Amino acid sequence: MRRVKPRAFFFAVALLCLSFLGYALYAEHLLELVPCPLCMLQRGGILLILVLSLVAAVHNPKGGFGWKAYGTLGFLFAGLGASISARHVWLQSLPEDLVPACAPSLDYMLDVFPMGEMLRTILMTSGECAEIDWVFLGLSMPAWTLIWFVIFALTLGYAGWAYRAQRAS
């Protein structure tokens, strides 16, 4: 079995992230789907993985430490994105009478709230995030992003920590 080349692996992850962000912009600007605050945080998670993957591809780690560092960071970034997506999916599964109140607009919160308060408000309120505007194969966009965050977490984590095993074979 041939060893995966670090540069190709990380460029592939970056390309996937770039395609997801491209589709998010397509959905926002051409399909006119207005992203909620949790959607914007999920975009941030994808963007973190994209930047990490591009840095890793340019760095092109040769040794196990580089793979482990990038794999661990990728796992953590994907885990953060997955937790935000899971919250979003949970909000969408609630009955209407249990949906929390809507948060102020994201633009307003960026202007007025400190960063920690803004994140807490988004995660604890955001009733507008319970609306489902887009479905593919029976799953909402946050459900799909949750699936992809889990795939990224498993793939990046495995690639980072299984490097030595790949090298030995």
Tell me, what's the pLDDT at 112? 72
What is the full per-residue pLDDT of the chain (169 aa) written as tens digits? 356 677 788 899 999 999 999 999 998 899 888 888 888 889 999 999 999 999 988 887 777 777 788 888 999 999 999 998 998 888 877 777 766 666 666 677 777 777 777 777 766 666 666 677 877 898 888 899 999 999 999 988 887 777 654 444 4
Domains of the chain in start order, with CATH, are: 6-99+131-168 (1.20.1550.10)
Answer yes or no: are the C-beta atoms of 61 and 164 closer than 8 Å: no
Residues in the chain: 169
3-state SS track over 18-86: HHHHHHHHHHHHCCCCCCCHHHHHHHHHHHHHHHHHHHHHHHCCCCHHHHHHHHHHHHHHHHHHHHHHH
Tell me, what's the pLDDT at 150? 95
Answer yes or no: are the C-beta atoms of 56 and 124 closer than 8 Å: no
